[in-house]
Structure 1
Amino acid sequence: MNVEDGRIQVDTVGIAYRRLTPECSEAGHPNSDGSPTVVMLHEGLGSITQWRDLPEVLARQCGLEVVAYDRGGYGRSDPLPANYSDGFMEREATNVLPAVLEGLAVRRPILIGHSDGASIALIAAALGSVTPLGVAVIAPHTFIEEICIEGIRALDTERDKVISGLARHHDDPRLAFERWRDVWLTDEFRHWDIRPLLERIVCGVLVLQGDGDQYGTDAQVWTITGKVNSATGHILDDCGHVAHRDQPEQIAGYLVEFVSDCLSTRG
């Protein structure tokens, strides 16, 4: 497995990325000839390293290049302003993600997103800022549920412990946490809702969520499968919000199968 860590510039922000190329493709990046590439979008407090070994597992089992990157203000990417506005996921989907894919010469992405990253992937596919072969989402948000607000408030009571835990993954863990917390808890963000966009998605969609998700109910899953013709959903037993930590083998199995289906249906 060849692992490349690098940075690209998106406007004024340096974005850290990791590119994993399986041994069968090490002679050159497979996306250089337009081959499909798995692109991973992390959660609201996530980063490249918080995917654990899932990127490597997918690269090996799918035989495809896998790219993960830290959004601005997360991981090893450059910081962003201290405050988010309530359109931050839409901007990521329509401005940053396409620029990252262009900078890394990814022409045929298969998007895999977790939590906020899942929502960003869905928005990008719906608005056409990216044309993915498929979108797999883990614990997505399509509208704001009270359980999510309660979960963030509960996490905030342990903010120092949380920030300490984030420190090994992020250059500025306090700013990453506080910016994420603050935008989710605003009154304006209570009205955030991407359900009207979902019917525009034309690629295959896989939705995965744990039965013990602290930030969402299964309404998120069935909302997507009800509005996207090509979507399938699964609820994972004994699993919380970070499903690739709680049920890594199940998550990998579903994702490998989904990627295989994307390749067989789109070529």
Structure 2
Amino acid sequence: MPVQDRPSDGVDVTVARGRIDIDGVGIAYQRFVGSPVAAPQDTPGAVNASAPTVVMLHEGLGSITQWRDLPEVLARRCRLDVIAYDRGGYGRSDPFPATYGDGFMTREAIEMLPAVLDGLGVARPILVGHSDGASIALIAVGMGAVSPLGVATIAPHTFIEDICVDGIRSISTQSERVICGLARHHDNPRLAFERWRDVWLTDEFRDWDITALLGDIKCPLLVLQGDGDQYGTNAQVTTIVEMAPDATGHVLANCGHVAHRDQPAQIADYLADFVSACAAVDTATSASSAMMSGASSGPK
């Protein structure tokens, strides 16, 4: 079900599609232009450098299109540019890497995400991540690879729970059906599924844990979790809220792992409010800095 905007919300949103090259890997992206001052038309991938930009990181089997209409809704309601991109091997991006090791999310966090932000000219990001994408965002900020204005997470993983491994084992028995369904969204659906399934089910990955990084995430942090999530429990929310300095968590009723599908209106409301608040703080801080700079350069 599409998310319905509030009658008074928003601006017209245009969409620019493109690819950027990151170390020889073509990364597909879409930019939903919601900022009042658009980037030059001859540089469709560029963002409005004077405003924060929302950057969306999809789940472990996700892609740009699997966000549904959420990027457009956020662009309209927040009046900001929103960028969604396909990680390597997903969606319309190049099929790389061919396999995952247990450090695949760290590589995405500290190498690929900063390169994507730099390639698209995003200097003041607000990160929105779902599932693996949420974990990648947390790693990037916790390790200091990215310094966003805020991070919003949907169904994040910070440690491995039995329910997650059991859920992946369950869908592994239906691999061909799952791969067939993914083909609508991915150029390489078998690669996307099999490398994700294989790494999550290794013995080595059972020890994966990023909770030690949470205390280093100083920016505002929003955690959203469905009460019926097939791959995680409320322990993820509790852990993040207890360990991160500026985190707020909400558990959504009647909601599974893909919260923007199950509860689209609630997710849009939480994210739009969070993103707008982060952008407002950034605007106020920038204005204050400009005033102080002007005063310091005045006559003595």
Q: Does 1:5 align with 2:17?
A: yes
2:245 match: secondary structure: coil
Equivalent position amino acid for 1:124 in 2:
A
Structure 2 residue corresponding to 1:16, chosen from 9, 13, 28: 28
2:142 match: secondary structure: helix
Structure 1 residue corresponding to 2:107, chosen from 88, 91, 100: 91
Distance 1:81 1:116 in 2: 16
Equivalent position amino acid for 1:95 in 2:
E
TM-score, normalised by the number of residues in structure 1? 0.97
Structure 1 residue corresponding to 2:270, chosen from 244, 254, 258: 254
Report if the CA contact (8 A) 2:55-2:125 is conserved.
yes
TM-score, normalised by the number of residues in structure 2? 0.87
Q: CA deviation at 1:263?
A: 1.7
Superposed, 1:106-255 pairs within 5 Å as 106-255=122-271
Report if the CA contact (8 A) 1:125-1:131 is conserved.
yes
Equivalent position amino acid for 2:30 in 1:
R
Equivalent position amino acid for 2:221 in 1:
V
1:137 match: secondary structure: strand
Q: CA deviation at 1:261?
A: 1.3
Structure 1's 72 and 229: CA in aligned 2 closer, same or farther, altered over 3 A? same
Distance 1:120 1:23 in 2: 26
Q: CA deviation at 1:34?
A: 3.5
Report if the CA contact (8 A) 1:98-1:130 is conserved.
yes
Equivalent position amino acid for 2:266 in 1:
Q
Q: CA deviation at 1:266?
A: 2.6
- Measured against aligned partners, the alpha-carbon deviations of 1:108-135 in whole angstroms (never above 9, x if no partner) come to 0000000000000001111111110000
- Measured against aligned partners, the alpha-carbon deviations of 1:226-251 in whole angstroms (never above 9, x if no partner) come to 01121000000000000000000000
Report if the CA contact (8 A) 2:35-2:51 is conserved.
no
Equivalent position amino acid for 1:68 in 2:
A
Aligned to 1:73: 89
Report if the CA contact (8 A) 1:61-1:256 is conserved.
yes
Distance 1:203 1:242 in 2: 25
Distance 1:256 1:175 in 2: 33
Question: Which sections of structure 1, spanning at least 5 residues, go unmatched?
Answer: none
Report if the CA contact (8 A) 2:25-2:94 is conserved.
yes
Stretches (4+) displaced over 6 A: none
Q: CA deviation at 1:35?
A: 1.4
Structure 1 residue corresponding to 2:64, chosen from 26, 44, 48: 48
2:36 match: secondary structure: helix
1:239 match: secondary structure: coil
Report if the CA contact (8 A) 1:2-1:26 is conserved.
no
Report if the CA contact (8 A) 1:31-1:106 is conserved.
yes
Q: Does 1:26 align with 2:38?
A: yes
Equivalent position amino acid for 1:264 in 2:
A
Q: In angstroms, what is the RMSD of aligned CA positions? A: 1.2
